[in-house]
């Protein structure tokens, strides 16, 4: 792990897929400029059509890398992997791949492009960390404790085994420790009730694995949590399969949008409501900021041999800058090394023969 002094002086270099997302350079370039202005220790590699990147040619601490193709939001994974070999997404991810001497061009990558294509390309080009079967998407959701809860997986893995959920918990703990500075972050397993006897067989087995991991000091397992606990802030991390996680994410985004619109309509309905809105304006502004999904933009693709962050495809410049910020924090605080260390610790610590028979592909569950 790098020292505090080195973190303050060593530049952090990120690579940006400037062509990805719904808006491309019209959003990514203003966000990158604002980010560079706010972070004098940051350097950016901007990938895309050279003509589209021309406004950034004279920017300080900025290097342009040309590409001739773009992975569209509706392109299939096959197109992204096999046909568009010079896409901005692929070229950006290649900057995270170590050369023969073990050097990498950038410490993290940010893209607003096609999520499925980004995950598939990242897994193909970078590979997964030893001990990780499947990468997971982790995202921070605001909670009522004026903080946020990290939830994973949010769509990368629809069908998960108990061992996969254990891996997500280990990676999520490393993320919370590195980026949020949380000591011994608490982990909750999303279930239909708090009792250990509830849930599917997979969830019950995952709970057993997590409890045994906690007994061995691998993680801080709180127990089962329900959907409302995400927004209560009951735990720092909530683990679930990608099908459930993606549904939770989309529902929360829809709820935040609905509440904001409801408040706007109610406080402009009559003269009295407009007066009430003026009185409540500071509270309303704070609420809007707390639930604004743009402030939490930037989902981490955990488990890869490189730091990859996914911005929402429809992100504006404000939101995309927040995704850059999260990638910067992860790289500056050695998230990749922390995930490696925690997985290595798990490989050395977890020796549970009674549950090992349940996993055919998990390196985390070892026979004694």
Q: What three-state secondary structure class fits 267?
A: coil
Q: What is the DSSP letter of 54?
A: G
Q: What three-state secondary structure class fits 117?
A: helix
Residues 261 and 187 in one domain: yes
Q: Which of 126, 148, 178 is the last residue of a domain?
A: 126
Residue 293, pLDDT score = 66
Nearest to 46, CA basis, from 65, 28, 60 = 65
Residues 119 and 152 in one domain: no
- How far apart (Å, rounded) are the C-alpha atoms in residues 215 and 27? 47
Number of other CB atoms surrounding residue 127 within 10 Å = 15
Q: What is the DSSP letter of 56?
A: G
Residues 6+ apart with CB under 8 A from 342: 170, 171, 173, 174, 218
The structure tokens listed for 41 are 């220790």
Residues 163 and 266 in one domain: yes
Asked if residue 192 belongs to a domain, the reply is: yes
Residue 363, pLDDT score = 42
Q: In terms of residue numbers, what domain contains 196?
A: 139-294+335-368
CATH of the domain at 40: 3.40.718.10
Q: Please, which residues bridge with residue 48 across strands?
A: 66
Q: Which of 93, 126, 159 is the last residue of a domain?
A: 126
Helix (H) or strand (E) holding 188: strand 186-190
Residues 41 and 155 in one domain: no
Residues 155 and 34 in one domain: no
- How far apart (Å, rounded) are the C-alpha atoms in residues 140 and 316? 18
Asked if residue 50 belongs to a domain, the reply is: yes
* pTM tops 0.75: yes
Are 329 and 147 a contacting pair, CB within 8 Å?
A: no
Q: Which of 97, 126, 155 is the last residue of a domain?
A: 126
Residues 76 and 158 in one domain: no
Residue corresponding to tokens 């509830």: 198
Residues 38 and 81 in one domain: yes
Asked if residue 313 belongs to a domain, the reply is: no
Residues 82 and 144 in one domain: no
Nearest to 226, CA basis, from 190, 187, 186 = 190
Residue 284, pLDDT score = 56
Asked if residue 155 belongs to a domain, the reply is: yes
Q: What is the DSSP letter of 81?
A: I
Question: Backbone phi, then psi, for 165, in 5-degree steps?
Answer: -65, -35
Nearest to 133, CA basis, from 337, 329, 350, 361 = 361
Residues 43 and 98 in one domain: yes
- How far apart (Å, rounded) are the C-alpha atoms in residues 163 and 205? 9
Asked if residue 303 belongs to a domain, the reply is: no
Residues 154 and 290 in one domain: yes
Residues 102 and 246 in one domain: no
pLDDT per residue of the chain (368 residues) written in tens, 0 to 9 = 343 333 445 789 999 999 999 999 999 999 999 999 999 999 999 999 999 999 999 999 999 999 999 999 999 999 999 999 999 999 999 999 988 777 888 999 999 999 999 999 999 999 998 888 889 999 988 888 888 899 999 988 888 999 999 999 999 998 888 877 778 899 999 999 989 888 899 999 999 999 999 998 889 999 999 999 999 999 999 999 999 998 988 887 776 666 666 666 666 677 766 676 666 656 556 555 655 667 878 899 999 999 999 999 999 999 999 999 999 999 998 888 888 888 877 767 664 443 444 444 444 443 33
Sign for the pseudo-dihedral over CA of 226, 228, 230, 232: negative
Asked if residue 315 belongs to a domain, the reply is: no
Are 157 and 333 a contacting pair, CB within 8 Å?
A: no
Residue 218, pLDDT score = 87
Q: What is the DSSP letter of 129?
A: P
Residues 121 and 161 in one domain: no
Asked if residue 329 belongs to a domain, the reply is: no
Residue 126, pLDDT score = 95
Residue corresponding to tokens 């996914």: 310
Number of domains in the chain: 2
Asked if residue 203 belongs to a domain, the reply is: yes
Sign for the pseudo-dihedral over CA of 46, 50, 52, 57: positive
Residue 117, pLDDT score = 94
Q: How far is CA 328 from CA 30, 42, 116, 320, 340, in A?
A: 17, 8, 23, 12, 18
């Amino acid at each position: 792990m790098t020292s505090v002094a080195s973190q303050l002086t060593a530049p952090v270099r990120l690579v940006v897929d400037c062509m990805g997302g719904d808006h491309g350079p019209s959003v990514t370039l203003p966000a990158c400029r604002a980010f560079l202005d706010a972070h004098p220790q940051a350097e950016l590699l901007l990938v895309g059509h050279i003509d589209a990147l021309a406004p950034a040619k004279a920017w300080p601490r900025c290097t342009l890398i040309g590409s001739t193709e773009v992975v569209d939001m509706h392109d299939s994974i096959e197109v992204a992997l096999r046909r568009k070999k010079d896409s901005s997404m692929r070229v950006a991810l290649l900057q995270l791949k170590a050369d023969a001497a073990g050097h990498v061009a950038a410490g993290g990558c940010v893209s607003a492009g096609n999520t499925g294509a980004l995950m598939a390309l990242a897994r193909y080009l970078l590979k997964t960390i030893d001990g990780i079967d499947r990468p997971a998407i982790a995202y921070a959701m605001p909670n009522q404790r004026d903080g946020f809860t990290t939830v994973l997986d949010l769509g990368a893995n629809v069908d998960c085994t108990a061992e996969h959920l254990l891996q997500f918990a280990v990676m999520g703990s490393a993320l919370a420790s590195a980026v949020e500075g949380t000591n011994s972050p608490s982990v909750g397993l999303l279930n239909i009730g708090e009792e250990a006897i509830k849930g599917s067989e997979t969830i019950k087995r995952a709970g057993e694995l997590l409890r045994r991991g906690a007994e061995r000091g691998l993680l801080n397992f709180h127990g089962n949590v329900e959907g409302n606990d995400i927004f209560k802030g009951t735990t720092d991390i909530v683990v679930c399969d990608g099908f459930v996680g993606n549904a939770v994410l989309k529902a929360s985004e829809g709820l935040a949008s609905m509440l904001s619109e409801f408040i706007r309509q109610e406080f402009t309905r009559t003269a009295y409501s407009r007066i009430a809105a003026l009185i409540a304006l500071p509270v309303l502004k704070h609420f809007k900021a707390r639930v604004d999904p743009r402030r939490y933009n930037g989902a981490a693709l955990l488990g890869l041999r490189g730091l990859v962050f996914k911005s929402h495809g429809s992100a504006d410049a404000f939101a995309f800058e927040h995704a850059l910020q999260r990638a910067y924090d992860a790289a500056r605080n050695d998230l990749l090394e922390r995930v490696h260390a925690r997985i290595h610790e798990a490989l050395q610590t977890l020796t549970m023969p009674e549950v090992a028979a349940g996993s055919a592909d998990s390196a985390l569950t070892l026979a004694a």
